[in-house]
Amino acid sequence: MEELNKDQVAALFEREAVLLGRENCVPVFRVAAMFGKEAVKHARSLNSSKPGYYVNGYGIGDYTLDALTFRGFQAAASFHNVKKLREEAEE
């Protein structure tokens, strides 16, 4: 996937998001498929300062689905953008 701007990220989030509790989120496995596992790891690392702000989960009994909030999705997309642009700059 190429770099995305703010509007493209918002549209992609709206297309991929599902309701979990009271908030739309994108499941972590879908974000990893789009932007890579490193982008998800980056979003998770930001979550330590504000739990639930970037990554959240919704459980049903013995299973919890981890997902990125809109802020987390933006962070993952931004990570992806910087990684792609760094590769371009290094060529």
pLDDT for position 50: 82
**Is residue 50 within 8 Å of residue 8, measured between CB atoms?**
no
Count Cβ atoms below 10 Å from residue 60 Cβ, excluding itself.
7
Instruction: Determine the Cα–Cα distance for residues 23 and 12; give it in Å rounded to an integer.
Output: 16
Chain segment 30-85, per-residue pLDDT in tens = 999 999 999 999 999 998 888 889 999 999 999 999 999 999 999 999 999 999 99
The residues spanned by each domain of the chain are: 6-85
Instruction: Judge residue 26's burial from the number of C-beta atoms within 10 Å of its C-beta, 0-12 exposed, 13-18 middle, 19 or more buried.
Output: buried
Pick the CATH number of 6-85 from 1.10.1660, 1.10.10, 2.60.120, 1.10.101: 1.10.1660
Q: Mean pLDDT across the stretch 22-34?
A: 97
How remote is the C-alpha of 73 from its chain's centroid? 3
